[in-house]
Amino acid sequence: MTAKLPRPIQRLIETAISAQKNAYCPYSRYPVGAAVLTDGGRIFAGCNVENASYGLSLCAERVAVFNAVTRRQTSIKAICVVASSARPCGACRQVMFEFASKDTELYLVDLSPNNRRQAVTRTTVHKMLPGAFDPIASGLLPPNPKNLLRNRQHTRRAKKSTRKRR
């Protein structure tokens, strides 16, 4: 199935499959891999990491998104999730929505580690989370949140240079 997909999407799926092998899931025994493709063409991976205190666990999707964000890649073009019956949880859907556009593709790859067959479902982040909390629509963020971040960074630099002059 992946042979018919564009090469960047094939790489995205391969990266998510590879990430699934690194999942730390001794409690659920449910390994999940994820990868995000940024508008800049870079791919970042993530796997689920569980903890005995379940609330401290992180899903693969959020790990992949946060991995991209830590490298200043906040505009996501496509996301892939790999698991047996791959479906992002509600928290992951909301996090993906934060960095997605209406056209951000979401590839759900159903892959059981025991059986090498994979089924790829293509949808969008927006279709997976109808009625999402939209920080732009709510007025919390401007239409281009990057401008807000730039303004904050510019203000910090200005304050630092003012302090140095004193």
- The catalytic residues are 61
Asked if residues 65 and 45 have their Cβ atoms less than 8 Å apart, the reply is: no
- In whole angstroms, give the CA distance from residue 136 to residue 133: 9
Helices (H), 1-59: 7-20
Own/partner contacts of 52-60, CB < 8 Å, gap of 24 or more, are 52/27, 54/27, 59/32, 59/34, 59/88, 59/89, 59/91, 59/92, 60/16, 60/19, 60/20, 60/23, 60/32, 60/33, 60/34
